[in-house]
Structure 1
């Protein structure tokens, strides 16, 4: 156990799912806790659990509905009123809404999602990061998603909010590069929490897949990345495959594949869709291999400046295919190693 006596972590959405599991890890490592969620009784229940199991004595609970515009300032004011210093900010709270944006989903709920997933994150980050910079010390964990880089049909607003989190975090991390304040984005896929129930997406293929992903494992991945000061981490090998594919496949193919996960799991097109997805992934892998070889061939007759650019692009292409190859089998690994040999020979 890494004892962090005297340091305080503030976690939003701390009473269930990934948020509770993250709070558990902070409790195990000796952090003081500020737990934020909507229900006072559940907050007190979690706080008592931590006191009993981990001996965490300094726990502050703040009942707050962060889907309301005034809530972030109220949370900050309560923290200041109690004279607490936040060393780690975990922006975990978030919700989604399932259905077609134009005809099925509720606008007011979606505006609440934007407030919770974006506006509250920005406000809390603004308030606490300013103090972190003044102290030249602090850590921020953002709960992103693989939806941060993969458009999310049938959860269009939710996916867009996670894209915002990714872009905002990358920009903020760059602005803070000369300080000792770090920003980390945790990017899980479908996880076995109450998210799909609250979003009205219980009969989707994604929800079915979520049963195999334990929120405690996701939290551990994010916690370790946060403590190591990493900029982002994707949890799970197959999620890494999806993200890598998202960078090389045509946008329409990526979006179509994600939609299949958000559709009814009893769809008669399920097997055909799975074949289509596998084919699309194979095409994406092949495209990266070809890209690496093409870049290498151009390298030979390039100027010194262009050679530097081509070396960078070739290594990036090989990096993408390596990440995919690590997860999808021997045939893909063979394609990767063959392409790698061709590219490295050309660049030698």
Structure 2
């Protein structure tokens, strides 16, 4: 394997937006480090990418909602002596329902996955990137980061953290050749809603969902161009803009109506 090939680390890389982002890197001559919970799914994705693009794919099976797992990922990559040129924090989950009814342990898991893992991996690899004055970080946030999300209160709040955090560290590293980009997709056709038990929500049943391949292409191109924020899709650009213009209580009520089960 040629030593001059770059490596991209992608979390949540076996399905949805993460899978499509990994594919973008693979078809653009990056080697891959892919992280997900299931070794079986990782192996399947790895052999597919190797066959299709001739790229080197290293798999790391970890549940990133466990506090020690992201540290273990960093250590494993260090032990292999691999330099991460692009870090893609994508793994994330949500939970559907009124906050008074939802499971706090599940929510803490979501916070550890959607925030904790992003923090740990970014801290580790951003330090290396800044030290060598080169590298790219893509944090997959959500258009939900711009607006309150009744019935997904914790998920939207974790994504607000991701967008704010990305913008802050982008500013801190502005005098380097390292760039930090936040990708803000809207509702996308992935298994996110199934995992969140949210399939009956009006926005899911009746709304149009973005194609994850399109979202990933927008994200990849934005990252390569060094953009600070990429909102994928016109409808989502409108939603993000409304979130910045309209009063929060109006936006929250609108989101609440969209998130309710469609038969109510």
TM-score range, shorter chain: over 0.9
Structure 2 residue aligned with 1:29: 28
Structure 1 residue aligned with 2:242: 245
Match of 1:202, SS? coil
1:121 to 78, 103, 118: 118
Residues 292-320 of structure 1: CA distance to partner in whole angstroms, max 9, x if unpaired? xxxxxxxxxxxxxxxxxxxxxxxxxxxxx
Structure 2 residue aligned with 1:322: none
Alignment of 1:63 onto 2:57: no
Match of 1:162, SS? helix
TM-score, normalization by structure 2: 0.97
Shift in Å, 1:266: 1.8
More helix by share: 1
TM-score, normalization by structure 1: 0.74
2:137 to 126, 137, 140: 140
Structure 1 residue aligned with 2:46: 47
- Conserved 8 A contact 1:117-1:161: yes
> How many residue pairs get matched?
262
- Conserved 8 A contact 1:141-1:185: yes
Give runs of aligned pairs for residues 150-169 of structure 1, distance below 5 A.
150-169=147-166
Match of 1:264, SS? coil
2:104 to 102, 107, 113: 107
C-alpha root-mean-square deviation of aligned residues, in Å? 1.2
Larger Cα Rg: Structure 1 or Structure 2?
Answer: 1
Spell out structure 1 runs of 4+ moving beyond 6 A.
none
- Conserved 8 A contact 1:188-1:239: yes
Structure 2 residue aligned with 1:233: 230
Match of 1:141, SS? strand
- Conserved 8 A contact 1:192-1:210: no
| Cα distance in structure 1, aligned partners of 2:64 and 2:114 | 9
Residues 56-84 of structure 1: CA distance to partner in whole angstroms, max 9, x if unpaired? 1x210000000000001100000011110
- Conserved 8 A contact 1:191-1:210: no
Structure 2 residue aligned with 1:87: 85
| Cα distance in structure 1, aligned partners of 2:87 and 2:206 | 29
Match of 2:66, SS? coil
Shift in Å, 1:206: 2.0
Shift in Å, 1:251: 1.1
Shift in Å, 1:209: 5.0
Match of 1:66, SS? coil
1:176 to 170, 173, 182: 173
Unaligned runs of 5+ in 1: 268-348
Residues 22-56 of structure 1: CA distance to partner in whole angstroms, max 9, x if unpaired? 00010000101000000000000000000111111
Match of 1:62, SS? strand
Unaligned runs of 5+ in 2: none
| Structure of higher RCO (CA pairs closer than 8 Å, 6+ residues apart) | 2
Structure 2 residue aligned with 1:291: none
| Cα distance in structure 1, aligned partners of 2:207 and 2:74 | 33
Give runs of aligned pairs for residues 194-273 of structure 1, distance below 5 A.
194-208=191-205, 212-267=209-264
After the TM superposition, which of the residue ranges 142-151 and 204-213 deviates more from structure 2? 204-213
